[in-house]
Amino acid sequence: MDWTIAAGLDRMVDARHADSFAVELWHHPKAQLLVVSERGHVALRAPGKLTFTRPTGEYRPESDVFVGEWQGSPIFVRVVADDAAIAAAFQASCPVKITGLRPVLDAFDDEVQVAFVAAAIGRWSGMAKFCSRCGTALTPACGGNMRKCGNCRLEHFPRTDPAIIVAVTDADDRILLGRQPVWEPKRMSVLAGYVEAGESAEQAVHRELAEEVGLHGLTDVRYFASQPWPFPRSLMLAYTAHCPHPDQLAPDTAEIETARWFTRADFTAAVESNELLQPSKHSVAYRLIHTWLKR
């Protein structure tokens, strides 16, 4: 999935402000419905294939969100509480696998962008039921893409948390890869972390590398690309950077179980021998690593 070109999903942002818009599209002959849980779980009809169904009954603004037009079909997401509620939405004759997206990402093609929107909307819906300022229950608007507080008038939109991810290389053009203790065995990747309040993304790159692996004085911190990462609601801002002092490497083992410098030959051998699992092919981490590998 190339996240740097125009999206295949047309969100129709201007049109969705009209009150009647979502209702009309709900009854469109090509409309399709995805069911997603408040944890971002979806139903798959086959590996990498979302289960779309025809919308039936009346449009329910409290749970049905219009997310855009995909391949000529208006797409709605119905947000339900949990896996059991997803299962209940399907007939017994329609076998589906209900899962979070992260373990099954690599089976997807470009439909992953629809899956990411669905997961993001599902998680936001579960966490945005009440006004964060006054506690009043919120009312959906704009086809479910925003919520309004009827008491203090505050408008609530799906949130995205910025995070940085960075491919650090040294004078010998080795790349730094590490792993978090919570990851599956053998998984390694470039390092990442959230941007703090009042901080620039570049400042976060310097801070995270210092905190997590003891590397100070990075140079040539350059923007690379971005991608959505709805686990739970990140926007990954990818950078490259140069480390003039690779011998400073000292992982903070509470956050980073291990970290080391890889030459291209090291990396290729580790992947081929199955000692190292790469990030998902749909992740910007994969693109960072493979851009380094090819240059």
Q: Which residues bind Zn ion (CB under 5 A)?
A: 131, 133-134, 136, 149, 151-152, 154
Quote the least distance from Cβ 136 to Zn ion, whole Å. Answer: 5
Structure tokens given for 95? 């076998």
Query: With respect to Zn ion, which residue has the nearer C-beta, 119 or 131?
Result: 131
Query: With respect to Zn ion, which residue has the nearer C-beta, 135 or 244?
Result: 135
C-alpha R_g of the chain: 21
Query: With respect to Zn ion, which residue has the nearer C-beta, 140 or 279?
Result: 140
Query: With respect to Zn ion, which residue has the nearer C-beta, 152 or 250?
Result: 152
Q: What is the DSSP string of 77-122?
A: EEEESSHHHHHHTS-TTS--EEE-SGGGGGG--TTHHHHHHHHHHH
Query: With respect to Zn ion, which residue has the nearer C-beta, 139 or 258?
Result: 139
Contact, 248 vs 215, CB < 8 A? Answer: yes
Residue 294 half-sphere exposure, CB side, CA atoms within 13 Å?
6
Quote the least distance from Cβ 18 to Zn ion, whole Å. Answer: 24
How many C-beta atoms surround the C-beta of residue 270 within 10 A? 17
Quote the least distance from Cβ 194 to Zn ion, whole Å. Answer: 26
Three-state secondary-structure class, residue 141: strand
Quote the least distance from Cβ 151 to Zn ion, whole Å. Answer: 5
Quote the least distance from Cβ 129 to Zn ion, whole Å. Answer: 12
Query: With respect to Zn ion, which residue has the nearer C-beta, 134 or 293?
Result: 134
Quote the least distance from Cβ 60 to Zn ion, whole Å. Answer: 23
Closest to 90 (Cα-Cα) out of 43, 46, 122: 43
Residue 97 half-sphere exposure, CB side, CA atoms within 13 Å?
12
Residue 146's beta-bridge partner residues?
A: 141
β pairing state of 42-46 and 219-229? unpaired
